Amino acid sequence: MRCEKVEFHYVKGVMHHQRSIKDIFYLVIEKRSVAKMYVISMMVKDEFGVMQRVMGEFTRNKINVETIVVGKCETPGKARIVLSVIGEESAETAIARLERLQDVSDVRLIPPEGQSAYALISTSDGHVGLIGGSAQVEEIIERTKPEKYVKALNAL
């Protein structure tokens, strides 16, 4: 069974306290059901101040953004923002608030099959870029145990 990075450390800590494997299994399942990642994609005006207004909605609603990717896209004068949050309620609240912003022309929740992950890891030989499914990228990170890395979710 694969564990998310935060769960791995949590489980490691639980094992240190010598709980049974059954207890650990239930704690991981419980953590997973609570900590599901939701990916939101939006098309916004590509102009000064838009990012501040978008992120202001998250701040006002006390929603933490786990990952964020921003860049120009296929539509002139527009940019795409793809971000992830933990929890369905947070995702629904964010989408409802973002739909009201004049700077946002399209916002939607991306299903898991439409998502991809990427990471940049630091190795003794230099930096390595990884692209693939979230589980694939996480597995490589867990196997290589890099000293430093950054991982994000992305979608179109």
pLDDT tens readout for residues 36-84: 899 999 999 999 999 999 999 999 999 999 999 999 999 999 999 999 9
Rounded-to-integer distance, Cα 48 and Cα 80, Å: 14
**DSSP state letter for 70:** E
The segment with the largest mean pLDDT, out of 10-19, 83-92, 132-141, is 83-92
pLDDT band at 85 (very low <50, low <70, confident <90, very high): very high
Q: What is the pLDDT of residue 14?
A: 37
The number of domains in the chain is 3
**Mean pLDDT of the 125-144 span:** 90
Rounded-to-integer distance, Cα 118 and Cα 68, Å: 12
Structure tokens at 42: 């939006």
Same domain? 68 vs 90:
yes
**Mean pLDDT of the 77-92 span:** 97
* The residue to which tokens 């786990």 are assigned: 66
pLDDT at 155 over 90: no
Same domain? 133 vs 120:
yes
Structural domain boundaries, residue 130: 115-155
Q: To the nearest whole number, what is the mean pLDDT of the chain? A: 81
Same domain? 29 vs 42:
no
Same domain? 10 vs 55:
no
pLDDT at 1 over 60: no
Same domain? 22 vs 11:
yes
Same domain? 10 vs 61:
no
Same domain? 123 vs 134:
yes
**Mean pLDDT of the 123-150 span:** 90
Same domain? 21 vs 43:
no
Q: What is the pLDDT of residue 12?
A: 36
Same domain? 89 vs 151:
no
